[in-house]
Amino acid sequence: MTKLIGLTGGIGSGKTTLANYIASKGIPVYIADMEAKKLLEKPKVVAELIASFGETIKDENGISKEKLSKLVFDFPEKLKQLNAIIHPKVAKHFKKWLSSNQNHPIVVKEAAILFESGAYKDCDIIITIIAPEKIRIQRVIERDKTSEELVKSRIKNQWSDEQKMALSTYVVLNENLIEAKKHIDEILVEIIES
């Protein structure tokens, strides 16, 4: 029976970097945020988003992730509305992916809002990646070329590390990537051997 590992962490914690590290070991990894971004290119989803949020979320390439983020992260109701459009579609896609990977002893689902969406309830094991907020903010500013203010508003809309840690099987501190990878290796050995 395939074990489903949920991998999560706040924005800028390094969860995707560590998810890619796990994938490099031949373990199937589903990156939910990547699938959500792909949905923003589908004409049906674009039409649904424009109907909900208006033409202002568009740019010359279609839906502007930046404009959409600015619009929803300051308004919890709008964020709920966006999640109601995107998350059922990601969940459906994940189900298909999971059934096509049933021949592996473990698979990983990486998701920023694993807890907030309730998807953690389907996981056998949960690994939460944490890092000091200052480091997280710096990583996101560098990665997304965004403002500290926008990063802080996104952090505010996610569960705190303490909330996540309380429901996690394992917690990995990612201040130093080499140490974090070593910790991930130890966890994987433990999971595979159990």
Residue 8 in marked binding region: no
118 and 32 Cβ atoms separated by less than 8 Å: no
| CB-based contacts of 144, cutoff 8 Å, min separation 6 | 151
Helix or strand or coil: residue 35?
helix
67: how many CB neighbours lie within 10 A of its CB?
14
Residue 12 in marked binding region: yes
Q: Report CA Rg, the chain.
A: 17
Residue 169 in marked binding region: no
Residue 52 in marked binding region: no
- Residue 171 falls in which region: left (phi positive, over 0), alpha (psi -120 to 50) or beta: beta
The annotation places the binding site for ATP at: 12-17
The annotation places the binding site at: 12-17
